Structure 1
Amino acid sequence: MKKKLLIVDDEWNMRNLLKIYLTKDFEITMAVDGEEAVALVKKNSFDLIILDVMMPGKDGWEVCEEVREFKTTPILMLTARNDTKDKVHGLEIGADDYLIKPFEPEELLARVKALLRRSELSNEKSEKEENNSIVYGNGFLQIDQDGHSVLIAGEKLELTPKEYKLLHTIASNPKRVFTREVLLDVLWGYNDSRDTRTVDSHVKNIRIKIKEKGSDYNPFETVWGVGYKFHEPDEWL
């Protein structure tokens, strides 16, 4: 079943162009202004919203803020203004990504797919969550989601924010095999210059830090030709 996208833009040419770029892969609904967009989001369930910033009446900023009051649907903002302040503002009020006009159709499609992958991942629930912690091996591995901390055999593992997020991501979804591209989406978002070897470097660093704690446990099982999946530790007796 195709994912459902809502395109919001007051310019017919841009709406039609976006529809041409995306209609092959997605089910498209279009709104001509902010008021219509909010009304559609309230009545329907969309997988992603592509939202123009500069619109008469209720602009993209207002729409984004209003939608965030009742929906967590990923939002990709579109604007002709290449202003860092605008981008920061959009991210602060709840936008998930930001694309500058004009753009190539390949970049638009890549960003849309990356946001959808991240959204699917965040919606998956771990069967090992206990009191907002993820626990494996009878307490051998403990990930405190509130404190963003990790214990290995009772000792705190000093991880960088990216390392923590990487370990937390795979431990939260133990049955899933992650490609390096998906892990890049989770950790860094879409970036033209990103390198999948960065994921391998972070995996290596985590393995080394665990070994320095005196444990041979390796939480990352390599799936050759694909990426990584979680390796659950044996019970800690």
Structure 2
Amino acid sequence: MTATVALVDDDRNILTSLSVYLQAEGFLTRVYSDGETALKALTADPPDLAVFDIKMPRLDGLELLRRLREKSRLPVIFLTSKDDELDEAQGLAAGADDYIAKPFSPRLVAARIRAILRRVELTQPGGEAHADAAAPLARGRLTMDPARHRTTWGGEPVTLTVTEFLILETLAQRPGIVRTRNQLMDAAYSDDIYVDDRTIDSHIKRLRRKFRAVDPRFDAIETLYGAGYRFSDE
């Protein structure tokens, strides 16, 4: 079945270009230029996923998501300002599934949409939630449930984006084994998406910060300079 994606942004150039690209990738799209109109439409006839800009007049993306979460668990990706960690933190706290910083590649948006929709599919009746690839993972104090996109540390929940989840899952699958940045890129991004080393380093930094908010002594993600990263479950 063809997935429907709602795009909400007051920048019509972004709406048009992203909508055209996603349609070429096989998605159906709906576009809304303000949060108030989008809220009514998304509540009355939910799509499969929505992409929100955070900074919009009348009703910004954060408030739109808060109101939507009162009625729906619709998967949502936020578009944030470049390197604006406050936007990212607020978006995830409000219930966003992932975020992408502007300026962005339409290919990256399409890849993140597919990753999230795949995880949603795994949780549906008749999905592959019992397949080995989706089996829960336990490493020391860490538990990860790919089918439900849930992560805990010492029993405390840790909210991760899809990209962060995939990177951590790759590290935790084989504790003690060093993963290069290229290997982590391959795990988190589609083959046609290019990211540089600093992008992976930024994700690792955010992962550490999120786990240290739960456990200030968290040191399970180790850096091996010149080699990459590894996970320690000791």
TM-score bucket of the superposed structures, by smaller chain: 0.5 to 0.7
1:85-100 to 2 correspondences below 5 Å = 85-100=86-101
Compared with structure 1, are the counterparts of its residues 105 and 43 closer, same or farther at alpha carbon in structure 2 (3 Å cutoff)? same
Residue 165 of structure 1 aligns with which residue? 145
TM-score w.r.t. length of structure 2 = 0.58
One-letter amino acid of the counterpart of residue 98, structure 1: Y
Whether the 8 Å CA contact 2:49–2:75 is kept in 1: the answer is yes
One-letter amino acid of the counterpart of residue 13, structure 1: N
One-letter amino acid of the counterpart of residue 66, structure 1: R
One-letter amino acid of the counterpart of residue 141, structure 2: T
SS in 2 for 1:23: helix
One-letter amino acid of the counterpart of residue 10, structure 2: D
Distance 2:33 2:49 in 1: 16
Q: Deviations over 1:79-120 (max 9, x none)?
A: 224211221111001111111111112211111111111122
1:86-165 to 2 correspondences below 5 Å = 86-124=87-125, 159-162=140-143, 164-165=144-145
Distance 1:72 1:44 in 2: 13
Offset, 1:165 = 2.5
One-letter amino acid of the counterpart of residue 58, structure 1: L
Residue 78 of structure 2 aligns with which residue? 77
Compared with structure 1, are the counterparts of its residues 158 and 106 closer, same or farther at alpha carbon in structure 2 (3 Å cutoff)? closer
Compared with structure 1, are the counterparts of its residues 199 and 40 closer, same or farther at alpha carbon in structure 2 (3 Å cutoff)? same
Residue 190 of structure 2 aligns with which residue? none
Compared with structure 1, are the counterparts of its residues 158 and 59 closer, same or farther at alpha carbon in structure 2 (3 Å cutoff)? closer
Q: Deviations over 1:14-49 (max 9, x none)?
A: 100111221122110111100111011111021100
Residue 16 of structure 2 aligns with which residue? 16
What is the CA RMSD across the aligned residues, in angstroms? 3.5
TM-score w.r.t. length of structure 1 = 0.58
Residue 189 of structure 1 aligns with which residue? 162
One-letter amino acid of the counterpart of residue 36, structure 1: T
Q: Deviations over 1:59-94 (max 9, x none)?
A: 101101010000001000112242112211110011
Distance 2:84 2:139 in 1: 36
Distance 1:43 1:158 in 2: 42
SS in 2 for 1:22: helix
Larger radius of gyration: 1
Residue 215 of structure 2 aligns with which residue? none
SS in 2 for 1:51: strand
Q: Deviations over 1:189-235 (max 9, x none)?
A: 225x9498546416x9xxxxxxxxxxxxxxxxxxxxxxxxxxxxxxx
Distance 1:197 1:158 in 2: 12
SS in 2 for 1:99: strand
Residue 51 of structure 2 aligns with which residue? 50
Compared with structure 1, are the counterparts of its residues 10 and 23 closer, same or farther at alpha carbon in structure 2 (3 Å cutoff)? same
SS in 2 for 1:55: coil
- Percent identical among aligned pairs is 31
Residue 151 of structure 2 aligns with which residue? none
May I ask how many residue pairs the two structures share in their alignment?
159
Unaligned runs of 5+ in 1: 127-147, 151-156, 171-186, 205-237
Whether the 8 Å CA contact 2:97–2:161 is kept in 1: the answer is no
Unaligned runs of 5+ in 2: 128-135, 149-159, 178-234
